Amino acid sequence: MKYSLLLNNQRVEVEAPGDISLLKLLREYLHLTGTKEGCDVGECGACSVLLDGKLVNSCMVLAAQAADREVITIEGVCLPDGSPNDLQQAFIRYGAVQCGFCTPGMILAGEALLADNPQPTRTEIREAIAGNLCRCTGYQQIVDAIEQTSLSRKEKKGHA
């Protein structure tokens, strides 16, 4: 079937089978491989994307369910010139990245949280990323990165 979606702020159309997951559509038909597959059963969050601004596991969403909706993947998070945004920079600065396989999903989980709750507590951050497994970091530096981004965004807003 023909899919049409608003992907990373661009309208895209693609031909693909009707019964595949959004994850497969992104990776294999749209060649956006930043979204990862870790379990394919909705348990690890490596495949997290934003669907109409909401964090979802794309392995559990049928591609057809995303039709005509807005999808943001890790490839759509950076600044227009391709450089990392503030949250991505904070992931680098605070050591939130080790093997990096969970990182795209974690960053989207962080963005979803900060959109919803711009000044979360550390516990709220931990709750927000509880669906995203990371085997490398022990999560602490990921929490640091999200917390610091929320503080710097607040400061920026205060100055604006």
Quick one: which of 86, 147, 111 has its CA closest to 8? 111
Tokens linked to 14? 């693609």
Check binding of 46 to ligand FES (CB under 6 A): yes
The CA dihedral of 10, 52, 78, 37, to the nearest 10 degrees, is -100
**Distance in angstroms (rounded) separating the CA atoms of residues 104 and 145:** 14
Tokens linked to 140? 């602490």
Rounded least distance, CB 114 to ligand FES, Å: 19
Alpha carbon 154 to chain centroid, angstroms: 21
The contact mask relative to other proteins for 52-91 (x = CB under 8 A, - = no) is ---------------------xxx-xx---x-x---xx-x
Residue 47 binding: pick among other proteins, ligand FES, none (C-beta 5-8 Å cut-off by kind): ligand FES
Rounded least distance, CB 35 to ligand FES, Å: 9
Compute the C-alpha angle 16/29/98, nearest 5°.
145
Rounded least distance, CB 11 to ligand FES, Å: 25
Check binding of 148 to other proteins (CB under 8 A): no
Residues at the contact surface with other proteins, assessed by CB under 8 A: 27-28, 31-41, 43-44, 46, 73-75, 77-78, 82, 84, 88-89, 91-95, 97-104, 107, 122, 125-127, 129-143
